Amino acid sequence: MNGPAWRPQALKLRLYEGIYALNRGFQITLLSLERLESLGFFRAEYLNAFKIELEHTRASANNELVQMLHQHELEEAGRFDQMRKQWHDQLKDPDDVFFAARERKREIRQQIKDLRSGLERLKPMRRKKRAPR
């Protein structure tokens, strides 16, 4: 019994590490601007504007990258779900189909019984005589 092929995904790790490194770089730059501000030499309003621009750029980049990763993860989840299903199908007992069919037959019988009961409740309403014209 062979399971579906699985292979390690080094690319995924590198993608997440790359996003981490990008954000770490933004954080280092923000801290550098804070240090420059603490020296009191540069105009604080300009340094603050640079920080705002930097945070905006970081948020925009993260938004785009995370959206792309989200799509990739959805596709991966579907692929692995299919592999998992194939694996479980290999482990199934062939007689499980008959047990499931028997259970479904019971469910259908119960549904028919419920429908008939509902129709029986409606019968008195049907017997109302129409007024002559």
Burial 102-126 (b: 16+ CB within 10 A, else e): eeeeeeeeeeeeeeeeeeeeeeeee
CA angle 81, 86, 89 (to 5 degrees): 125
The residue type of 53 is E
Residues 18 and 28: their CA atoms lie apart, in Å, by 15
Q: Kindly state the average pLDDT of the residues 86-112.
A: 88
Whether the predicted pLDDT of 1 surpasses 50: no
Domain match, 105 and 117 both: yes
Domain match, 57 and 119 both: no
Domain match, 51 and 73 both: yes
> pLDDT per residue over 29-88, tens digit each?
999 999 999 999 999 999 999 999 999 999 999 999 999 999 999 999 999 999 999 988
Q: Count of domains in the chain?
A: 2
pLDDT band at 95 (very low <50, low <70, confident <90, very high): confident
Domain match, 37 and 75 both: yes
Q: 110 is in which domain, residue-wise?
A: 94-126
φ, ψ (nearest 5 deg) of residue 132 = -65, 150
Domain match, 79 and 102 both: no
The reported pLDDT for the residue numbered 126 is 57
In a domain, 131, yes or no: no
Whether the predicted pLDDT of 133 surpasses 80: no
User: Does pTM surpass 0.75?
Assistant: no
Q: Kindly state the average pLDDT of the residues 105-122.
A: 92
In a domain, 1, yes or no: no
In a domain, 3, yes or no: no
Burial of 90 (0-12, 13-18, 19+ CB in 10 A): exposed
Question: What tokens does 48 get?
Answer: 């603050």
49, 70 contact by CB (below 8 A): no
